[in-house]
């Protein structure tokens, strides 16, 4: 064929030579690899049997227990594993498929049940018993009178003139008066429910020439002197009145003075109020003293004032 390639030129006439040539070229030149991506078809959905789900759940629980085991308690690698000690603790778990709402109402019901049980247990507790009131040491048992006040009459061995006085119902009277009279206390009463509430009769001698409390000074002067006798004290009330003497004997001048006592001088009861009435008759001073804590004074002052004002002489001095 004119102007064309011959069969020898195309390699058709010498296939052996052509094969050798091609082999030499293959050994010198690396043939590039071509990768063809093929689209993967999604796997067919299969339903996992319930038994497989249960076994998977057990395997997950086992893995969780292993993960939660402290590192220090795991045996080191390469060493002999010490024998395990069987544990007696039993842990109950309740599992439900994730995303399921079937167990939510059950959990809420359980919580509500526990809350109701706790509330019932709290409401069923018996009320606390009030502390029993005990008789103060050195005093008789409380004396209760329906009228609200007990009557006290001095005995023949009283320090001064015979007298009578009322003391609140439910209070206790001092037992050993003989010892108390050696220090000028002729009668003493105490509230067992509030030992800061007291009532007492003090009798003492006065200097010669004093025939009335007015001889000791004015009401204002005595009130001021009692308030100034200790720090943090102040006068909160004062008045004059008459105390009856024996039948046909008239009456005697009496000063009533109320002083608020600070915590430093009131002892363990803290702030208190002291009410004293002072009467001078027959060379002796009769001082009736009533006390109450500052907090209980508003509720106690009415009957304490009545008790103090009930003091009256029944015999000639």
Mean pLDDT, 10 residues at a time, the chain of 317 residues:
40 44 43 44 49 48 50 50 48 42 50 51 48 82 95 88 95 92 94 92 95 97 95 95 88 97 63 96 96 94 97 87
Fold of domain 149-313 = Protein Transport Mog1p; Chain A (3.40.1000)
State residue 15's pLDDT score: 44
Cα 132 → chain centroid:
21
Instruction: Output the pTM of the full model.
Output: 0.58
- Residue 150: the pLDDT is 97
Query: Would you state the pLDDT for residue 51?
Result: 45
């Amino acid at each position: 064929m004119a102007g064309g390639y011959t069969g020898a030129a195309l390699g058709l006439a010498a296939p052996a030579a052509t094969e050798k040539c091609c082999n030499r070229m293959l050994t010198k030149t690396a043939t590039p690899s071509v990768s063809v991506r093929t689209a993967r078809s999604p796997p067919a959905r299969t339903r996992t049997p319930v038994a497989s789900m249960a076994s998977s759940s057990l395997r997950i629980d086992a893995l969780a227990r292993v993960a939660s085991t402290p590192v220090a308690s795991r045996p080191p690698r390469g060493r002999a594993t010490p024998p395990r000690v069987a544990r007696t603790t039993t842990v109950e778990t309740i599992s439900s498929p994730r995303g399921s709402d079937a167990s939510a109402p059950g959990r809420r019901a359980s919580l509500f049940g526990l809350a109701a049980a706790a509330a019932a247990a709290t409401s069923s507790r018996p009320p606390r018993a009030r502390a029993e009131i005990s008789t103060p040491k050195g005093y008789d048992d409380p004396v209760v009178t329906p009228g609200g006040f007990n009557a006290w009459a001095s005995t023949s061995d009283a320090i001064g003139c015979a007298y009578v006085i009322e003391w609140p119902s439910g209070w206790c009277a001092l037992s050993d008066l003989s010892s108390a009279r050696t220090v000028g206390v002729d009668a003493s009463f105490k509230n067992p429910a509030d030992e800061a509430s007291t009532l007492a009769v003090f009798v003492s001698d006065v200097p010669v020439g004093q025939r009335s409390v007015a001889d000791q000074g004015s009401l204002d002067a005595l009130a001021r002197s009692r308030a100034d006798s200790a720090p943090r004290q102040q006068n909160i009330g004062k008045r004059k009145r008459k105390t009856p003497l024996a039948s046909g004997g008239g009456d005697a001048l009496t000063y009533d003075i109320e002083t608020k006592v600070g915590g430093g001088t009131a002892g363990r009861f803290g702030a208190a109020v002291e009410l004293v009435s002072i009467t001078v008759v027959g060379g002796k001073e009769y001082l009736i003293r009533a006390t109450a804590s500052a907090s209980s004074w508003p509720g106690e002052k009415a009957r304490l004032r009545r008790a103090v004002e009930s003091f009256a002489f029944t015999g000639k001095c």
